[in-house]
Amino acid sequence: MNKRDAVETKARILSAAEDIFSEVGFDGARVDDIAKDAGVNKALIYYYFKSKNEILETLFSSLIEDVRKMLIESMERTPDVCGDDGYRALFDVYIRFVSQKRKIIRVAVAESAKMDATSSIVMELGNLIINAEIEVLRKEYEKKGLHFPKDKQELLVMEFFTGLTPFLSYALYKDQWENQYGLSEKALQDYFYQAFKKAHLAAHLSE
């Protein structure tokens, strides 16, 4: 098998695993089913990955890298995040990202919520996003005269629970919400944007 075929085969395996982990959960997923969905034999999966755990770790590593790239690009494109247009532009980047990545985000949230989780991919994502935004946000908020917490723990709690968590919830429940209430994707995003501004921005606007 040449290098190109190997890359394509690994990509099919990872895509199939992501679908199945999202549908039945990591614990309920079977390597046999991943092989079937990927159109490969089980032995080939173990040729590329030592275990089901390694498949999951690879998916999570890719998610972290994708988040890192998204943050860099979004900050470069929207330097003024406090103006309404800039804030909406940044919001749209995030919402597109979590919509596209909602399958693996479901898996990440489920695995992070386990009582015996040795590490939390959600906490890793939180640290990455908060650390990437922190200085840019501080400068922009100070220029606008907005409140920016000096207490690090207050800041971390605020950004995690009012900034990151709503986007994770959107990824988890987007499809169900649209089906349950008959909303279009655009309508849901618009309503979510208004609610997010009132909740997240309110924390910064408070004295």
174 and 120 share a domain? yes
| Average pLDDT for 60-64 | 94
pLDDT tens readout for residues 172-181: 999 999 999 9
| Average pLDDT for 137-158 | 70
159 and 179 share a domain? yes
Report the distance separating Cα 11 and Cα 6, nearest Å: 9
13 and 86 share a domain? no
111 and 187 share a domain? yes
93 and 29 share a domain? no
Quote the DSSP letter at residue 150: S
101 and 36 share a domain? no
Judged against a pLDDT cut of 70, whether residue 148 lies above it is answered with: no
What is the per-residue pLDDT for 102?
Answer: 95
pLDDT tens readout for residues 80-94: 666 667 778 888 999
- Considering the domain boundaries, does residue 2 fall inside one? yes
Residue 131: closest CA among 105, 109, 114, 152: 152
86 and 154 share a domain? yes
118 and 169 share a domain? yes
Judged against a pLDDT cut of 80, whether residue 76 lies above it is answered with: no
- Considering the domain boundaries, does residue 54 fall inside one? no
Number of domains in the chain: 2
What is the per-residue pLDDT for 82?
Answer: 61
Residue span of the structural domain in which 42 resides: 1-49
Query: Which CB contacts under 8 angstroms, 24+ apart, belong to 147-153?
Result: 147/204, 147/205, 147/206, 147/207, 148/204
The residue with greater pLDDT, 128 or 137, is: 128
What is the per-residue pLDDT for 108?
Answer: 95
**Residue 184: in which H helix or E strand, if any?**
none
- Considering the domain boundaries, does residue 94 fall inside one? yes
Looking at 12, 27, 49, which one is the last position of a domain? 49
98 and 166 share a domain? yes
174 and 82 share a domain? yes
Which domain CATH number covers 10? Answer: 1.10.10.60
